[in-house]
Each structure stands twice: as C-alpha cells, then as structure tokens.
Amino acid sequence: MTGPQIIVLATPVFLALIALEFAVGLARGRNTYRLGDALASIGLGVMSQVTGVFGRLLRVGIYAAVFEHVALFELSASSPWVWVFALVFYDFCYYWYHRAGHRVAVLWAAHAVHHQSEDYNLSTALRQTSSGFLFGWIFYLPMAVAGVPPVVFAVVALIDLLYQYWVHTQQVGRLGWFDRWFCAPSNHRVHHAVNDRYLDRNYGGILIVWDRLFGTFEPEDEHEPCVYGTRSPLRSHDPLWANLQVYRDLVLDSWHARSWADKLRVWLKPPGWRPADVAARFPKPAFELARVQRWDPAITPAAAWAAAGMFLVVLAATSSFLWHAHRMSGAEQAAGAAAIVGVLWLIGWFTRGRSDTPTEAAALPQH
C-alpha cells in the first residue's frame, strides 16, 4: 500500500476527530473553528497531497540513490531495533529541518503555509505546504548514508507526520510528565504563536527533548495566551496565494536589492531580514502584538453552502485520485491535480467574504 493510499484511509479519522473537537469546543463554550479558515486549511492539506504525487518521486528517488551508492551500512528492515532507531533518527533530522524552516527565508517560504491560519485546531494540522519537497529531502540524507532502507524511511516519516496531527488543539491542556518528553498540545501551541517569548520555539515532531537539549524550548504560560498566525498575515483563503505569498516577497526584495550579495542573502537570512536599501525604499510596518487583528471575513449563507458542497466533491475526487495515482500516466495525474486545485481555488473564492468586511481584534484563546 502506498503512502497516499494510507492518507486516504486516515482521512475519515482526521475528519471525525475534527468533528469531535468542534463538538467539545461548543460544549465548553470555547469553539476554535471558523468555516472559511477550516476549509482553507484542509484544502491546503488536500493540495499538498495532490501535488506531492509529483514531488514524492524526487524525494524518494534521491534518497534511494544515496542509500544504494553512498550508504556506509545496510541495516536490516526485519530488525525491530532498526525501526526504533530510524524513528528516533528521523525525528532528530526533522527537528533540524523544522528549525531551519524558521531560520532560513527560502525554507520559511514553504513552511509558512502551515502557520498562516489565525485559528489553532485540528484542521490546522492538515494545513501543509506544496513546495516542501524542493529542499526538505536534504535534511534526511544522513539516514540514507547511515543505511536506513528506503522502505523503513518512508514508514517512519509517515508515523512522524501522523503523530503530529493530534497536538494541534486548544482543547487539551497540560499533560504533566508527558509534556517534558514529547511534543504535546501545550508545547506545540507555543510553536504556532507569534508572541515575542514564544516565537521560533518548540520544533520537535514527536520528541520535545531535542528542544530542551538545543536551547529552543519554551513552556506555555497561562498568563500569556498564544496569538496564532504569522507576522506577515496572509488574509486570504486562496490556496495558490498561500503557497506563493512569501516566495513573491522574497523575489521582490531580491530584485530591488542593489547589492548582488544582498540579492542572495534575502533567500538565506532569517525570515523578515531585508537589505537596508530595500527596507528604506519599500518600508513595511513593524510587528506589534497589541495591534494584531484577526482576518474574519463575513461569508453569506449561500456562499457557505456552495463552498461546503464543493468541498465534499473535492474530498471524494482527491480520495479517488490518490488511490489510483500510481496507476495513472503523467498526463492523467497532471489533469487530475489541476482539476482538484481549481476547485480548491474556487472554494477560497466563495469564502473570501466582501472586500469591505471589517476585521475583529484577535481573540486570545483561553487554555
């Protein structure tokens, strides 16, 4: 069974848990969902899986080639200890990939998609980039060199990804000793926050001990609620724009920079860094937490029903596409992916609200 097929089988579980979290939030008087944002987040996850059919060939192909020609050892996939070792090794590599994704602008351009939602719930977990395959594979090559077989790599990568789903919730509080060792909801809420004390913290995928070891851990403080999103807000439900926004900003800053060195630094410096001459000619307002406002467009009932209907159609189409993709020709895959992305764009158009819709102040969540 392929990775995309496993995701298809897991999708009903994802949606059932979203429904449960929504019900719990309503019962507690702490609903964390808005229709437009949730559809956008899940839609970006759909788009990531659909486009991943093409990027996966690059990532798996390079890993397999390195394993075949460069591996120092050849570990046995029949040994349970190899699987345990591989999972911990993968999580260690993921920590550094995730950390780099927040500290290197071109990597942030891909990872920012996951952080753009100003809500924090299980649908946020599904909000994934469609361009991570461009550079992400580099961070896992040490596993190939160490002799982890490609099939083991693929399975532990899926385990690490699936684990991280449940930590995207505001309905689970502190978990005592578990929080000290593992990535848990409290730890990961901090990671998604834009507050100064929380920014760029808690990168661990399964284990939070990496953050404790390498100085990037920050506990959640009940006296400072997390404010979610990015410091350069997206303010759109367009899945294409969500994936291109940060790249566009980097291209413009690189183009406007007078120094050739700065044209390169724009891509390699931490997110938010800009050459002095570019910042002077094209200033951007400084981030102030106190002035953060949540983008909350009003969606008409007709638009909401239309978006929900199209969303059900696109879920069914995506499930069929991912299940049969490995048997499709390249042209069939491209046509299917384009059709699905087109409907996702249309859903974003229906939930965009009116251009004159006022925003409301960010509601600080209560944990």
Same domain, yes or no: 66 and 124: yes
Residue 239 lies in a domain: no
Give the pLDDT confidence of 18-44 residue by residue, as tens digits. 999 999 999 999 999 999 999 999 999
Give the pLDDT confidence of 40-97 residue by residue, as tens digits. 999 999 999 999 999 887 888 999 999 999 999 999 999 999 999 999 999 999 999 9
Which residue pairs from 63-69 have beta carbons closer than 8 angstroms and sit at least 24 positions apart in sequence? 63/137, 63/140, 63/141, 63/143, 63/144, 63/150, 63/153, 64/144, 64/150, 66/141, 66/144, 66/145, 67/144, 67/147, 67/148, 67/149, 67/150
Q: How many folded domains does the chain comprise?
A: 2
Residue 366 lies in a domain: no
Same domain, yes or no: 347 and 311: yes
The alpha-helical segments, DSSP class H, found in the chain are: 3-28, 35-70, 80-103, 105-115, 122-125, 141-145, 150-163, 177-181, 185-191, 209-214, 239-256, 260-268, 276-281, 301-324, 330-350
Q: Which domain, by its residues, includes 229?
A: 3-234+294-361
pLDDT at 123: 98
Same domain, yes or no: 255 and 331: no
Same domain, yes or no: 250 and 139: no
